[in-house]
Structure 1
Amino acid sequence: MTIDPLVLMTDVEAATARLLRTAEGLEPLAVSRPSALPGWTVGHVLTHVARNADAYTNLLTWARTGVETPAYASPQARTEGIEGGAERSLRDQVVDVRESHERFADAAATMTAEAWTFFLEPTGQSAAAIPWARLREVEVHHVDLAAGYGPDEWSDAFALRLLREIVTGFGDDGFAAVLRPYGIDHPLLIGGDPDAPVVGGPTRSIAAWLSGRGDGADLTVSPDGELPVVPRWK
């Protein structure tokens, strides 16, 4: 799986175009209906996607210029930005998602090779990780619109990278599982317990289940039983 930020920006472009097509096909009143995220409407999700693009634009600007430019002014400002924009018209939401993406794409296009290596303390990674983070946000929240786009439409490469990220992101919360995605030679362990339940199935389905974007209905569990309860992710 490539981690080349410029290659990933191509994927971000395609993923954003797909999300915009979905949003443009919604009924105008759809912005006020519940999304797949508890407590959020479709308008909340679309606004978050737009503000997230601006947040990552800020981080790329920081990496390119060396001038500290936080993703958000504060956690409160992040929340207020989403709440304040959630009730806008669908047309305004679509324009916002498109224009914020263009700002992000422009910021990425001005990055030098050195700027991509700049370490961003808030993320704990170099700026080169930002395009992947943006791709993840667009693809996962596209599913959250609950408008016909599901994890089954994720690419193999995206699903596998998302799965690996989720696996490494679980902390000491007592959750343990041995994952056996189809086509992967070695299992992925969560929790470090080799005797934990073994969950097998398509990579997309496992990633969707662990991220709270799928019910795992097509997954297998060994020994026979219920799927483990997954802690909330993202």
Structure 2
Amino acid sequence: MSARQWTEAGTKLLLTQVDQLTDAQFAEPTVLAGWTRAHLVAHVHFNAQALRRLLTWAATGVEHRMYASPEQRNAEIESGAQLPASELRALALESAEALAHDMDALTDEAWQRPVITAQGRTVPASEVPWLRAREVCIHAVDLDTGLTFTDLPQDFLTALATDAVRKHAAAGQVADLASWLTGRVPTAPDLGRWL
């Protein structure tokens, strides 16, 4: 599968889980410390909006950052988490559909234009589908509705594991990772979250 197909599959999986939640279940915790399901759904919605800004940047050549600041991102999530469950469901669906439309409309040339991620990395716009695939697939599990990583596409998991190892290795944890992954130490290193 391609990153775009992973995005579509992950979006469907996540939105199906969101649709099956009762309104009361939006207030329940996720596996992410301090976040309710409402926080997570709000984040997924605002992430789609942020990625749409990157696609606008790629399409027009005019800079549109994902977020004005980390504080703006956090404030959006907090305010979104206070919305009624029915509104959050609708927003998550609408923004996912709008992002898919924007991806469909982007030209081959625009996909190659550089944009800057929320972490400050300069990447071609063609990386946006992968960024979204990670968000929707991982957060479908984070909702804590019974899905696990085994429910995600195997080729996505391979790409995700490769990406995670690369990021942790770049952060100076390569020796710890190598010793664990080669079976030389019995316990995994404490890596913390990176996404």
TM-score when scaled to structure 2? Answer: 0.90
Instruction: Determine which of 43, 53, 71 is the counterpart of 1:48.
Output: 43
C-alpha distance in structure 1 between counterparts of 2:122 and 2:73, whole Å: 20
C-alpha distance in structure 2 between counterparts of 1:69 and 1:229, whole Å: 35
Task: Name 1:135's counterpart in structure 2.
Answer: 133
**Is the Cα contact below 8 Å between 1:31 and 1:87 reproduced in 2?**
no
**Deviation of the 1:25 alpha carbon:** 0.7
Equivalent residues in 2 for 1:135-214, closer than 5 Å: 135-170=133-168, 171-173=171-173, 176-178=176-178, 196-198=179-181
**Is the Cα contact below 8 Å between 1:15 and 1:138 reproduced in 2?**
yes
Alignment partner of 1:97 is 2:102: no
Letter in 1 for 2:191: V
Q: Which runs of 4+ in 1 moved over 6 A?
A: none
CA gap 1:121/1:92 in 2 versus in 1, 3 angstroms: closer
How big is each residue's C-alpha offset from its partner over 1:132-157, in whole Å with a ceiling of 9 and x where there is no partner?
Answer: 11001000011110011110111111
Task: Structure 2: give runs of 5+ residues left out of the alignment.
Answer: none
C-alpha distance in structure 1 between counterparts of 2:31 and 2:44, whole Å: 14
C-alpha distance in structure 2 between counterparts of 1:121 and 1:127, whole Å: 9
CA gap 1:106/1:159 in 2 versus in 1, 3 angstroms: same
From the two aligned structures, give the one with the greater helix fraction.
2
Percent of aligned positions that are identical: 32
C-alpha distance in structure 2 between counterparts of 1:132 and 1:114, whole Å: 18
Tell me the number of residue pairs that the alignment of Structure 1 and Structure 2 aligns.
190
**Is the Cα contact below 8 Å between 2:110 and 2:125 reproduced in 1?**
yes
C-alpha distance in structure 2 between counterparts of 1:164 and 1:143, whole Å: 19
Alignment partner of 1:228 is 2:172: no
Task: Structure 1: give runs of 5+ residues left out of the alignment.
Answer: 179-195, 200-220
C-alpha distance in structure 1 between counterparts of 2:175 and 2:27, whole Å: 35
Task: Name 1:217's counterpart in structure 2.
Answer: none
**Deviation of the 1:229 alpha carbon:** 2.3
How big is each residue's C-alpha offset from its partner over 1:63-114, in whole Å with a ceiling of 9 and x where there is no partner?
Answer: 0100111111222111110000112222111101100011111111110000
SS in 2 for 1:233: coil
**Deviation of the 1:18 alpha carbon:** 1.4
CA-atom RMSD in angstroms: 1.7
Alignment partner of 1:24 is 2:23: no
SS in 1 for 2:172: coil
CA gap 1:117/1:198 in 2 versus in 1, 3 angstroms: closer
C-alpha distance in structure 2 between counterparts of 1:9 and 1:226, whole Å: 34
SS in 2 for 1:176: helix
CA gap 1:128/1:174 in 2 versus in 1, 3 angstroms: closer
CA gap 1:81/1:138 in 2 versus in 1, 3 angstroms: same
SS in 2 for 1:172: helix
